[in-house]
Amino acid sequence: MKSQRNISEFILLGLSYDQNMQIFCFVLFLFCYVALLAGNLLILFSIRCSPLFHQPMYYFLSHLSTMDICYTSTVTPRLIADLLVERKTISYSNCMLQVLTMHFFGGTEVFILTAMAFDRYAAICKPLHYVIIMNRTRCHLLVLAAWAGAAVHAFPLFSTAISLPFCGPNEINHYFCDIFPLLKVACTDTHIIGVLVVAFSGMFGLVVFIVLFVSYGIILFTLRNLSAEGRRKSLSTCGSHITVVILFFGPAIFIYLRPPTTFPEDKIFALFYTIVVPMFNPLIYTLRNSEMKKAMRKFWCPSLFSNEARS
C-alpha cells in the first residue's frame, strides 16, 4: 500500500497540446455535454410523465437515458474543465473513483441495451406471449440484473487498479483514468494483469455484442412474416437499437479486445462511447419514433397538443 502512495496525483496529457485546438474542443464538448443533458433529460421526463413509462421498451429507454447522463458525467465535465488549464491533474483517489464509476455505469448501460434487445425479441418473435413475458416484475428484475452485472464487471477492474503500485512517472496519456493507461505507468510487470483485463473486459464486450448481433439477426429474419406496416414499424425501432449498439460497442471492443497497450488513437475512439453515443441516443431514439415524439409534444406543449387533438 505504501508503494501506491508514492504519488498523490496523476497528470492527464489530454487530447492535444495545441492551445487553439484546446479552445475549439472546449466549445465543442461543452455544446455536446449540454445537448446530451438536455436531450436525455427531455426523454427521461417525457417518458416518466406519460403512459409510455408502463411499456417495457420505454421503461428501459428511460433507464438508458439515466445511465447516459451518469456515465458521461464521470468523464466529460473534467475533460471540459481540463481544456481550460495548462496542467491537468487528478488526485489518486479521484482517479480510482473514475475507473470504478465509468466501468460501473458503462456496464449497466451495456446490460440495459441487452434487456432492450430481449424486449424487441419478445415483441416481434413472441407477440402472443409478449405481455406475459415482459411483465412489470420481469422488467424490474432485468434492471436489477443490469446493475448487478455491472458491479460484477466493474469491481474486479477497480480492485486491479487500486492494487497497482505507482512510484512515478505519473503522466497518463489520456483525458481520463482507465485501466490500460494506468497499467502503463505502474511500477511492476503488468503483462499478466493486462492479459487478464483483456480476457475479462474485452471478452465481456465481445460476448455481449455477439449476443445482441445474433438476437437482432433472429428479429430481422422474423420480420419477413409480418405485414408491410408491421415491418416498417419494427425496422424503425430495431434500426435505432442496432445503430446505438454498433456506435457503442465498435470503439469499445477495438480498445479493450487487444494486447494491453495504448495508442494515440485510443483517445479519439474513446470519445465515441463516452460523449458521442450518449449525445446522439436521444436523436436516434426519437427522430423515427412517432410515439416518443407524441409524448414529448403532449408533455412539453400541452396546449399545442390539445389544439391538434380538437382539430
- Distance (Å) of CA 69 to CA 5, 100, 102, 209, 244: 32, 16, 11, 22, 15
What cell does 101 get?
464509476
Nearest-angstrom CA–CA distance, 215 and 224: 15
Q: Could you give phi then psi for residue 176, rounded to 5 degrees?
A: -155, 165
Predicted local distance difference test score (pLDDT) of residue 115: 92
Predicted local distance difference test score (pLDDT) of residue 3: 42
How many Å is the Cα radius of gyration of the chain?
21
C-alpha neighbours within 13 Å on the C-beta side of residue 293:
7
Question: Are residues 259 and 194 in contact, defined by beta-carbon separation less than 8 angstroms?
Answer: yes
| Burial of 213 from C-beta contacts in 10 A (0-12 / 13-18 / 19+) | middle
What cell does 287 get?
427522430
Predicted local distance difference test score (pLDDT) of residue 158: 92
Per DSSP, which regions of the chain are E strands? 9-12, 89-91, 171-172
* Tens-level pLDDT at each residue, the chain (311 residues): 444 457 788 999 888 788 888 899 999 999 999 999 998 998 888 888 888 888 898 999 999 999 999 999 999 999 999 998 888 999 999 999 999 999 999 999 999 989 988 998 888 888 888 899 999 999 999 999 999 999 999 998 899 889 888 887 788 888 999 888 888 888 888 888 888 888 777 788 888 888 888 888 888 888 777 677 667 776 766 777 788 888 888 888 888 877 766 676 788 888 888 898 888 888 887 766 777 777 777 766 666 555 554 54
Predicted local distance difference test score (pLDDT) of residue 49: 84
What cell does 107 get?
456496464
Predicted local distance difference test score (pLDDT) of residue 73: 93
- Distance (Å) of CA 35 to CA 30, 32, 144, 279: 8, 5, 28, 7
The torsion defined by the Cα of 144, 75, 174 and 283, in degrees rounded to 10, comes to 80
Predicted local distance difference test score (pLDDT) of residue 151: 94
Predicted local distance difference test score (pLDDT) of residue 1: 40
Predicted local distance difference test score (pLDDT) of residue 216: 83
